[in-house]
Amino acid sequence: MTAERTTVGVVGLGAMGLGMATTLAGKGFAVKGFDLSEARRTLAAEGGVTPVEALTDVFFDTNFIVFSLPTAKDVAAVVEANLEALKAAGRRVVIIDTSTSEPDVSRDLAAALAGLGHGFIDAPVSGGPAGAASGKLTMMIGGSDADVALAGPVIDAMSAKALHVGPSGAGNVAKLVNNLLAAAHMVTTGEGLKLALAAGLDADEALKVLNAASGKSMISEVHFPTWVMNGRFDSGFTMGLMRKDVRLASELAARTGADLPLSGAVAKLWAESPLENAEDFTRMGAFRPVANDN
């Protein structure tokens, strides 16, 4: 299957979805994009995407449909609202859900769509808007071997790394674990630098040590130099989104009986932070007073 013969729909043209849609269009796929916002549809059109005003239009004449939506509830609602279109489709459609969703929801949707002759892959992503726009995302994939293989060309076009970690729901689990750790690293790195300052060590010098030693993480190597140390706090990922992911990870821990005392403390910090949901999540790493310019 070549890009030129493949039509891909993209539902949700936000910071991530828009980048994925334009990346696919740039790599030769015929892309149809839907978003509730006319402004986002216009931006997509400027990037080579065919905008559609009705969500149902995405489900006709597409081989693959990429979701980039806020919550599992949104993902389920879009599928349920378009079941008739899927039932009438004369071809196998594979949905690639890049949202940070919930494992049980993905498993239920995969089972329901399999019964209709279609596929559903949970494929949450890491790499932010820049990774989406450049096709260099990391994707954590849950789904059947057959569906993942079928969607391979689309996945490869959007990602630099694609890790098929198990059956339906496994990608969601991996993403929640990843984001729980990222949330913890944001807090602990900020506290480490705060301690360095209090003890008389320059924070920039302390960060150099962390990133040359065992205390490093992607948060310390990328996020702090890019968005925290300079006070920019504009990574494009909000407090509200990280709060949601930490909450979902905590709920998963409760359902599975996993005892996570430190993660519980991290979840409490994120839930009770006075920072507004619209603010950038990197503000949680602030280790010295900063002006809130939002």
Give yes or no: residues 43 and 152 share one domain: yes
The parent domain of residue 77 ranges over: 3-168
- pTM, to two decimals: 0.91
Give yes or no: residues 155 and 18 share one domain: yes
CB 25 within 8 A of CB 6: no
Strand 159-166, strand 137-142: pairing: parallel
Strand partners, 280: 238
Give yes or no: residues 78 and 164 share one domain: yes
pLDDT digits (tens, 9 = 90+) for 215-241: 999 999 999 999 999 999 999 899 999
In this prediction, residue 3 carries a pLDDT of 52
Is residue 292 a part of any domain in this protein?
A: no
Is a pLDDT exceeding 80 seen at residue 291? no
Is residue 280 a part of any domain in this protein?
A: yes
In this prediction, residue 292 carries a pLDDT of 52
Is residue 293 a part of any domain in this protein?
A: no
Give yes or no: residues 142 and 24 share one domain: yes
Q: Considering 150, 168, 186, which residue would you say is the last residue of a domain?
A: 168
In this prediction, residue 61 carries a pLDDT of 87
In this prediction, residue 260 carries a pLDDT of 97
Q: Considering 110, 144, 168, which residue would you say is the last residue of a domain?
A: 168
Give yes or no: residues 99 and 84 share one domain: yes
Is residue 226 a part of any domain in this protein?
A: yes
- Catalytic residue set: 175
Give yes or no: residues 262 and 123 share one domain: no
Give yes or no: residues 8 and 125 share one domain: yes
Query: How many helices (DSSP H) and strands (DSSP E) are in the chain?
Result: 13, 9
Percentage of residues of the chain with pLDDT beyond 90: 93
- CA–CA distances in Å: residue 8 to residues 24, 37, 58, 223: 8, 19, 8, 32
- As a whole number, mean pLDDT of residues 200-220 equals 97
Is residue 71 a part of any domain in this protein?
A: yes
pLDDT digits (tens, 9 = 90+) for 39-82: 999 999 999 999 999 999 999 889 999 999 999 999 999 999 99
Residue with tokens 């009705």: 54
- As a whole number, mean pLDDT of residues 129-148 equals 96
pLDDT digits (tens, 9 = 90+) for 75-104: 999 999 999 999 998 899 999 999 999 999
Tell me the chain's radius of gyration from C-alpha atoms: 20
In this prediction, residue 290 carries a pLDDT of 60
> The CATH number of the domain where 240 resides is what?
1.10.1040.10
> The CATH number of the domain where 66 resides is what?
3.40.50.720
The number of distinct structural domains making up the chain is 2
Residue with tokens 């990328």: 222
Percentage of residues of the chain with pLDDT beyond 70: 97
Q: How far apart are CA 265 and CA 244, in angstroms?
A: 16
Is residue 253 a part of any domain in this protein?
A: yes
Give yes or no: residues 198 and 229 share one domain: yes
Is residue 290 a part of any domain in this protein?
A: no
Is a pLDDT exceeding 60 seen at residue 262? yes
Give yes or no: residues 7 and 147 share one domain: yes
Tell me the pLDDT of the chain averaged across its residues.
95
3-state secondary structure of 9: strand
Cα–Cα–Cα angle for 233, 239, 127, nearest 5°?
70
Give yes or no: residues 134 and 177 share one domain: no
Q: Considering 137, 168, 199, which residue would you say is the last residue of a domain?
A: 168
Q: How far apart are CA 252 and CA 254, in angstroms?
A: 5
Give yes or no: residues 88 and 212 share one domain: no
Is residue 294 a part of any domain in this protein?
A: no
Q: How far apart are CA 119 and CA 39, in angstroms?
A: 31
In this prediction, residue 294 carries a pLDDT of 47
Give yes or no: residues 61 and 157 share one domain: yes
